[in-house]
Amino acid sequence: MGILGLGVTLAFLAVNFDFSVAATTAKHYTELTFPSLPEIKVPAYTRFQLNNGMIVYLMEDRELPLVSGSATIRTGDRWEPADKIGLAGITGAVMRSGGTKKHPPDELNQLLEERAASVETSIGEVSGSASFNCLTKDLPEVFSLFVEVLREPAFPQDKLELAKTKVKGDISRRNDDPEDIAGREFQKLMYGEKSPYARTVEYASVNNISRADLQSFYQQYFYPNNIILGVVGDFDSKVMRQLIESKFGDWQKNNQLKVPPLPEVSQAKTSGIFLVNQPQMTQSYVQIGHLGGLFNNPDYPALDVMSGVLNGFGGRLFNQVRSRQGLAYSVYGAWSPRFDYPGVFVAGGQTRSDATVPFIKAILAEIKRIQTEPVTPEELALAKDSVLNSFVFNFQKPAQTLSRLIRYEYFGYPPDFLFRYQRNVEATTAADVQRVAQKYLQPEKLATLVVGNATAIQPPLTTLAAEVTNVDITIPPPTTAASKQ
């Protein structure tokens, strides 16, 4: 458009659009109204159990010609041997990367790529997973490959070595990110460095892992009576059930299957200041906390609202520590539970080196204040709206809802747990928030971790405690053949 054309356009707008009207009709944000939150509805689904003990969920979704599924296996790296840390994760990786007894890796990859499909496997802290995604028309072929990966992984030696090399690369880089350091070392303060919930993979433990170890770990847990399968997408449930029974029905269950007991949990460091000295840094990463609890605690909804009062834009930590005192780049505080072992209460954030001590004091003050100063109606409304609004987004797609149903069954939670939670959040009062803050927050048990430059932290951390414990994050070098002799 030339200058003349632009001038004509502006003249047209000036004549035909009344800017004064637009200005006078604008509303202040406090006058805006929004529709009510949509009701969470669980789509129709089918649940059944095969004769071999496999539990299956089917949920039809005909919006797109796609089908996806996921098998959840009762396993996890919390049950791997202490001298072979990393075994579970490597087993989960090589299950897929190593192909199957019928289809070598390259052939498996090509078959999936030709169909724009995927099959993935992994083993994390508390469970294992095998999943697939494909077009409806390719379901029979892709589902067969998914079943092969789950039932007949090959675990070739070359793919094991490749996986071990990748893990060793991760070890070598694990101190590159100060935020990662803070998260990792804080877990050790909470659970103990030898706890399955906090221990780290080292070169020595990776070197200990053999192909026989992968096969043994797989054979300990991968049985149909230790799996929950969920499939969602464009299919007929009757036909899908027949496909599942034809592919999994002859898989023999293990009548002697014994899943190990859960590791015991107790807080390793119940107080104190801990420092990871990083001389190159100009800011500090701080985490403060103590052990928390489980999702099925009847007080969890009120604790979640309490987190909402502390967190986010408009929360006490943001308003006081960041906005009014200017002590933080970021700041947070939350009650963070787990399904079957105690989670944590954690507060913290990032701040300038010279603001580290005031930042910690300000967070501690807010933790104590939420125990003693009643939550205002405005704070309560904002926190509840924040919690409920974010909760709704967990159920936008049928696959999200199905995943949650399977998670609840896996951990032994009632299927209507999500509705109970929502109702209890809505019913939470200001008195409830103060009650749970007083009951569950334990300022005397807070352990504080700082990742930062000790020299630049002024005033020093010793103004908070007479003794500051230095945390050594040196990566133990790989064990050589000579050192073993």
Looking at residue 393, what is its pLDDT? 75
Question: Measured in Å, how far apart are the chain's first and last C-alpha atoms?
Answer: 80
Q: What pLDDT sits at residue 391? A: 80
Whole-angstrom distance, CA of residue 93 vs CA of residue 82: 19
Please give the Cα distance from 210 to 216 (Å, whole number).
10
Dihedrals φ, ψ of 34, to 5°?
A: -130, 150
Distance of alpha carbon 189 from alpha carbon 389, whole angstroms: 33
Amino acid 11: pLDDT: 44
According to the model, what pLDDT value does residue 350 have?
97
Helix axes 300-310, 430-440, angle to 10 degrees: 100
What pLDDT score does 396 carry? 78
Contacts 24+ apart (CB under 8 A), 214-221: 214/87, 214/90, 214/91, 214/94, 214/155, 214/160, 215/155, 217/75, 217/80, 217/87, 217/88, 217/91, 218/91, 218/95, 218/153, 218/155, 220/75, 221/73, 221/74, 221/75, 221/128, 221/259
Question: Residue 415's pLDDT is what?
Answer: 86
Q: What pLDDT sits at residue 390?
A: 84
Q: Block means of pLDDT (10 residues each) for the chain, length 485 residues?
A: 44 45 56 65 93 98 97 98 97 98 98 98 98 98 98 98 98 97 98 97 97 98 98 98 98 95 97 97 97 97 97 92 94 97 98 97 97 96 91 82 95 91 95 98 97 97 96 89 40
Residue 245's region, left for phi above 0, alpha for psi from -120 to 50, else beta, is: alpha
What pLDDT is stored for residue 41 in this prediction? 79
Per-residue pLDDT, 395:
76
Q: What was the pLDDT predicted at 24?
A: 52
The confidence score (pLDDT) of residue 22 equals 46
Q: What is the pLDDT of residue 478?
A: 84
